[in-house]
């Protein structure tokens, strides 16, 4: 027994020395792999002053755990732009996070700027983690939660749930053949409403909304067309543009034209991150060309859509 204990202590010391020799990034990567292999289903940790509750088998969870954040550069660039453009005011201080997932956008934005948020997430499991992350960071009084999908008309929608990618769940429309069958792990019926309807149900006025962030897997046109009252009041929209997802929702061919009916300029997120205040808004007549230029390797890009009258 004494010899076994000595051997165990020796192995423990060797393992501790090995782990200590690794960089923080490698230690986190090794821990992530071990969590997946040992059947851990949920984990909580702190990164950069924020507490995160995640699933150890998810791509967004990996980014939070290993890198410390998700879309950090994009969020910082948007935050800097909001500060320069003055879109956040005393009364107009609510950011809508459409497709909020587990809170990777609204939680850091509210934490860093002191604004409020309306976080909209349709998938039940994502919403559970979203609520937990909001509560863990003491933001329940600043972030209103809505367990809904955004659609052009209220009703019930079917969501396709994807393997290992909570951010990849999408509304089932048409055949869905572009996603291999083995990636879809199940389906879930969710309640849907217009963006304007969800804002009203949350007890908010459109005049309180400062900006909308939308990452809704190809349903960006639903966001645009059901939130026209917001764009009419000068609310900008940060949106993911992914041709594959837009095609799956049947809106790729009309998306640029439909967006131009509500917005007159846009800033490519890449330009905003590279150039900051020197990033020049481009006219909407160039938007279709930007979409056509997104390569399969690039997959997607983000854009900041500006309604008439707002400063770039």
Question: Looking at residue 170, what is its pLDDT?
Answer: 87
The predicted model gives 6-22 an average pLDDT of 71
The predicted model gives 42-47 an average pLDDT of 89
Read off the tokens for 253. 């061919």
Tens digit of pLDDT for each residue in 170-224? 888 765 455 555 578 888 999 999 999 999 999 999 999 999 999 999 999 999 9
Give the domain ranges of the chain.
22-70, 71-306
- Determine the Cα–Cα distance for residues 182 and 110; give it in Å rounded to an integer: 37
Banded model confidence at residue 75, pLDDT cuts 50, 70, 90: very high
Tens digit of pLDDT for each residue in 271-303? 999 998 889 999 999 999 999 999 888 889 999
For residue 216, list its beta bridge partners. Answer: none
Tens digit of pLDDT for each residue in 87-140? 998 899 999 999 999 999 999 999 999 999 999 999 999 999 999 999 999 999
Question: Looking at residue 174, what is its pLDDT?
Answer: 62
Question: Looking at residue 100, what is its pLDDT?
Answer: 96
Question: What burial class does residue 166 get, using C-beta atoms within 10 Å of its C-beta: 0-12 exposed, 13-18 middle, 19+ buried?
Answer: buried
- Determine the Cα–Cα distance for residues 28 and 68; give it in Å rounded to an integer: 10
Q: Are 210 and 189 in contact (CB under 8 A)?
A: no
Look up the pTM and report it.
0.91
Distances (CA, A) of 145 to 52, 96, 116, 153, 254: 17, 10, 11, 20, 31
Question: Looking at residue 184, what is its pLDDT?
Answer: 82
- Determine the Cα–Cα distance for residues 36 and 219; give it in Å rounded to an integer: 31
- Determine the Cα–Cα distance for residues 217 and 178; give it in Å rounded to an integer: 13
Q: Which of 140, 237, 149 is nearest to 191 (CA)?
A: 149
Banded model confidence at residue 17, pLDDT cuts 50, 70, 90: confident
Query: Which DSSP string do the residues of 7-63 spell out, in sequence order?
Result: HHHHHHHHHHHHHHHS-HHHHHHHHHHHHHHTT---EEEEETTEEEEE-TT-HHHHI
The predicted model gives 40-64 an average pLDDT of 89
Residue 164 gets the label, from left (phi > 0), alpha (psi -120 to 50) or beta, of left
DSSP letter, residue 122:
-
CATH number of 71-306: 3.40.50.150
pLDDT at residue 20 tops 90: no
Beta strands in the chain (DSSP E): 43-47, 50-54, 94-98, 116-120, 143-146, 149-150, 155-162, 170-171, 184-193, 209-214, 237-241, 265-268, 282-283, 301-306
Q: Are 230 and 195 in contact (CB under 8 A)?
A: yes
Banded model confidence at residue 34, pLDDT cuts 50, 70, 90: confident
| Greater pLDDT, 81 or 35 | 81
- CA trace torsion 256, 116, 135, 69 (10° rounding): 50
Question: Looking at residue 173, what is its pLDDT?
Answer: 78
- Determine the Cα–Cα distance for residues 168 and 160; give it in Å rounded to an integer: 9
Q: Which of 92, 147, 95 is nearest to 118 (CA)?
A: 95
Q: Are 147 and 127 in contact (CB under 8 A)?
A: yes
- Determine the Cα–Cα distance for residues 110 and 74; give it in Å rounded to an integer: 15
DSSP letter, residue 67:
I
Q: Are 312 and 267 in contact (CB under 8 A)?
A: yes
Question: Looking at residue 307, what is its pLDDT?
Answer: 95
Tens digit of pLDDT for each residue in 233-250? 999 999 999 999 999 899
Q: Are 118 and 199 in contact (CB under 8 A)?
A: yes
Neighbouring residues of 75: CB distance < 8 A, sequence distance ≥ 6: 69, 105, 108, 109
């Amino acid at each position: 027994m004494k010899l076994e204990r000595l051997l165990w202590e020796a192995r423990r010391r060797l393992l501790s020395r090995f782990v200590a020799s690794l960089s923080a990034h490698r230690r986190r990567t090794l821990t992530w792999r071990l969590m997946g292999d040992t059947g851990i289903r949920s984990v909580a940790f702190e990164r950069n002053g924020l507490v995160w509750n995640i699933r150890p088998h998810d791509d967004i969870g990996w980014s939070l755990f290993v890198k410390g954040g998700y879309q950090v550069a994009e969020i910082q660039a948007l935050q800097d732009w909001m500060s320069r453009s003055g879109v956040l005011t005393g009364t107009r201080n609510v950011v809508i996070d459409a497709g909020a997932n587990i809170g990777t956008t609204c939680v850091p934005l509210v934490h860093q700027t002191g604004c409020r948020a309306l976080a909209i997430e349709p998938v039940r499991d994502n919403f559970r983690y979203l609520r937990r992350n909001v509560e863990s960071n003491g933001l329940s009084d600043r972030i209103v939660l809505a367990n809904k999908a955004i659609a052009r008309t209220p009703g019930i929608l079917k969501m396709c749930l994807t393997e290992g990618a909570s951010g990849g769940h999408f509304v089932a429309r048409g055949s869905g053949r572009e996603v291999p069958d083995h990636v879809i792990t199940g389906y879930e019926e969710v309640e849907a409403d217009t963006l304007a309807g969800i804002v009203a149900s949350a007890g908010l006025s459109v005049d309180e909304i400062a900006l909308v962030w939308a990452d809704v897997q190809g349903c960006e046109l639903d966001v645009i067309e059901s939130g026209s009252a917001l764009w009419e009041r000068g609310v900008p929209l940060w949106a993911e543009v992914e041709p594959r997802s837009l095609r799956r929702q049947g809106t790729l061919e009309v998306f640029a034209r439909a967006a131009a009916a509500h917005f007159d300029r846009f800033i490519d997120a890449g330009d905003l991150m590279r150039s900051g205040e020197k990033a020049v808004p481009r006219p909407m007549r160039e938007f279709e060309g930007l979409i056509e230029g997104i390569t399969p390797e690039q997959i997607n890009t983000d854009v900041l859509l500006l309604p008439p009258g707002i400063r770039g």
